Amino acid sequence: MPDIITLFTIEQIVQNREHVSAVELNDVTFGYGDTVAVEGVSLSVEEGEFLGILGPNGSGKTTLLHLMIGLKQPNRGVVRLFGQRAAEFEDGERVGYVAQRATDRGDAMPISVRETVLMGRFPHAGHSRIGGEDRAAVERALDRVGITDLADRPIDRLSGGQRQRTFIARALAAEADLLALDEPTVGVDVDSRTAFYDLLDELNAEGMTIVLIEHDVDILTTHVDTVACLNRRLYHHGDTASFLESDAIEEAYGRRSGVLDHHV
């Protein structure tokens, strides 16, 4: 019995002393049947970091993002979210996730902007009633992304950029610490796209940890501070400057890819 207590306290001390990353992947492998989608990836995302995931189509970017936030369990290796195993992570409100083309959902389903943002409070509220504090958080979030005047509109009457802001507001209302975005600006016009990335920069400057997938190398490298270049395995993981100097993109996309001529 005393041994167990000693072990426990030692582990606690180690944990306390250890610095906790927002996301930590240790030799993670995931496959669909016989097809390996992500192989031997180790990387960590520190709190306050802005990580961009880059890679050709079918390179496992979405799978990697899903592994990071616990939507998928690795076949091998360990994923930790804020120090806890991702599969056992329970603070749902700490992660705000916007799936690929998530914003299309409002096309057929009538739902207002405010209702969508209020969903961010659902993990806080559970089965109890939505209270004044929840409503206040929603109004703050709407105001922060600048869509207060659109709050009562149905989502299908918004532009692509406005919809993305709605989803970001949902994460803000949840008081999320980590934003996970899968190709957020697909179908968004160029101006709104720039404005959207500026918003992400601001949120990041305020301390929000952001992980996003983006296929456009130029816009990605302008905004993020770390790049993970993936094609099943990790070709590069480091700050944006080191990525731009490296050959990672040629290697990941394959040397004869047309994408290269444009960017190198």
Partner 1 sequence: MSQDTADQTDESADTLADDVGPNRLLSSGRLRSGLEYLGLGVTGALAVAMLALVVFDWLQTFPGTPGAVGETGFEAYESAGRVVDSLLGTNVFWVSTTLRAVATGVLVGVMAPLVGAFLVHRQMALIGETLAHTAFAGVAVGVVVAGALGLSGSAGQLLLVALVVSAAAALGLQWLTAHTDTYGDVPIAITLAGSFAVATLVISWGEGAFPVAIDIRAFLFGDSAIITAGGARLVAVLTVVVVALVVVNYKQFLFITFDEQAARVARLNVGWYNSLLVVMTAVVVVGSMQILGVILVAGMLVIPSAAASQLAGSFRELLVLSVLFGQVSVLAGLVFALLADLPNGGAIILAGVCIYLAAVAVSGRSAGQLSVH
Interface with partner 1 (CB under 8 A) = 69-71, 89-93, 95-99, 102, 105, 107-112, 114-116, 119, 122-123, 125, 127, 130, 152-154, 156-160, 170, 174, 180
d(CA 242, CA 237): 9
d(CA 15, CA 221): 34
Task: Report the residue number, 13 or 130, with the smaller CB distance to partner 1.
Answer: 130
Query: Is the distance from CB of 253 to CB of 82 less than 8 angstroms?
Result: no
Buried-exposed string 37-67: b where 16+ CB fall within 10 A, e elsewhere: bbbebebbbeeebbbbbbbbeebbbbbbbbb
Smallest distance, partner 1 to C-beta of residue 106, A: 8
Task: Report the residue number, 148 or 246, with the smaller CB distance to partner 1.
Answer: 148
Smallest distance, partner 1 to C-beta of residue 234, A: 23
Task: Report the residue number, 110 or 207, with the smaller CB distance to partner 1.
Answer: 110
Smallest distance, partner 1 to C-beta of residue 210, A: 15
Smallest distance, partner 1 to C-beta of residue 193, A: 16
Task: Report the residue number, 185 or 221, with the smaller CB distance to partner 1.
Answer: 185
Q: In what order do the strands lie in the sheet with 209-213?
A: 95-98, 178-182, 209-213, 50-54, 226-231, 233-239
Task: Report the residue number, 188 or 249, with the smaller CB distance to partner 1.
Answer: 188
Smallest distance, partner 1 to C-beta of residue 149, A: 9
